[in-house]
Amino acid sequence: MKRTIRKLTAVLMALLMLASLGSVSAFAKSAGAAKGKDYKTYKTFVSFGDSVAAGVSTSTYKAAHETKEAKTNYFVRVPGTYVDRVAKKVHTKKLYPLAQPGMRSEELRMLLCDDYSGDGHEAYVTNALNGYTTPGGKYTGKDPVKDYNKLRTLYQKAVKEADLITVGIGFNDVWFAILAAAVELSETGKVSKAPELTLFKKAEELGSMGKALKQAENALNTVMKIAPYIPVITEAGVEAKARYFVNYRAIIERIYSLNPDVTVVSIGYHDALLPGDQFDATNFMHYFAIFQPSFEAMNAYTMVRPTLYGTYYYVDMHGTETVLNSSDTWDPHPTDAGHKYMAQQILKVLPKA
């Protein structure tokens, strides 16, 4: 009888110990989550993209590019952006913030693929390559070939080291193509085979891409009132989208060829050109109608096409707050709140610890 009691006591003690261990484990997990330890660690994080990923229009962008670091390094971390927020949550030790305002898929593909020479317009496009000072300024006509060779080494080194890469590229592919077509239509009544070159040369002449884009936006407002021009403008977006598909596939394939174990997160396009109630959209609603179908097609492609890779994730960014949909200012970039939302969307798809 005593032996039986001792056995039962031993069993009960064992069960109590297991229960206590489970409680400690649950407590530790809870405590870890409270400290932000619930996300898998990605020690090296690379961000590829355009002005959205770079943090243009956030409250911290200008100050980040006026630091001592920014004087010697174009690629700086901008506090509060989705890149910065995600990096903190996944415990990143080394961040490569390699997004560039104005960048298209053409430039990113050229930087990653040694056998691709681009479409010939790279000298006019991205800030780091065309000589614009940060965060804007005058065209200085730097040697794009020399600069690209330097950046290729940096970009490919970053991919090889990366544990996590976010790719948010393509807006400017369609944006530049349609605006460039509008410029040519307003000036000559027809569109050439390379309308982007006309836009980029205007930037060179005016000394500012911002001034060139402003002229192009005015041109688009003009030509959209001429019915025969609408299908021509739409076709420019269709052609840009087709080129993007080819470039994006090459970009993702190249990333995985350089680093088969990396995790890639594709940043979907938000409703960048949809105005809010505060904005007088009388002359701008056609922007959304013309551009958004291309963006949605690009979303669908980036969501489905690269699913052969087990560590590739697509993130839906509809619902992101922008300056345009939250104020009376014409600016399609996400606000601080928009970047916070984007970070939350990215974290939803990443594996937990």
For the segment 56-71, what is each residue's pLDDT rounded down to a tens digit?
A: 999 999 999 899 888 7
From the options 3.40.50, 3.80.10, 1.10.1060, 1.10.10, give the CATH code of 40-170+248-349. 3.40.50
pLDDT at 9: 41
CA 293 from centroid of its chain's CA atoms: 18
Per-residue pLDDT at 14: 41
Question: Which residues lie below 8 Å from residue 302, measured CB to CB, with a gap of 6+?
Answer: 170, 248, 266, 268, 314
Amino acid at the residue 277? D
**The pLDDT of residue 17:** 39
Q: How far is CA 42 from the centre of its chain?
A: 18
Q: What per-residue confidence (pLDDT) applies to 29?
A: 36
Provide the 8-state DSSP code for 168: E
pLDDT at position 201 is 79
Distance CA 197, CA 109 (A): 19
| pLDDT reported for residue 120 | 67
pLDDT of residue 133: 37
The whole-number pLDDT of residue 62 equals 93
Where would I find the H helices in the chain? 2-34, 51-54, 61-64, 68-72, 82-89, 105-112, 122-125, 127-130, 144-161, 171-188, 195-206, 209-223, 230-258, 285-304, 323-326, 336-349
Q: Which residue has the tokens 């993130």?
A: 315
Contact (CB, 8 A) for 265 and 141: no
Tell me the three-class secondary structure of 38-65, residue by residue: CECCCCEEEEEECHHHHCCCCCCHHHHC
Query: Which amino acid appears at position 34 of this protein?
Result: A
Count of other CB atoms within 10 angstroms of residue 64? 22
pLDDT number for residue 147: 62
Determine the pLDDT at residue 283. Answer: 66
pLDDT along the chain (353 residues), means of 10: 41 39 36 56 97 96 89 87 98 96 90 86 52 40 60 93 98 92 93 84 77 88 88 90 95 97 96 84 74 92 82 96 91 96 97 85
Domain ranges of the chain: 40-170+248-349
The pLDDT score that the predictor gives to residue 12 is 36
Query: Strands across the sheet with 312-315, in order?
Result: 94-97, 44-49, 164-168, 263-267, 312-315
How much is the pLDDT for 299? Answer: 95
pLDDT at 15: 38
At 29, is the secondary structure helix, strand, or coil? helix
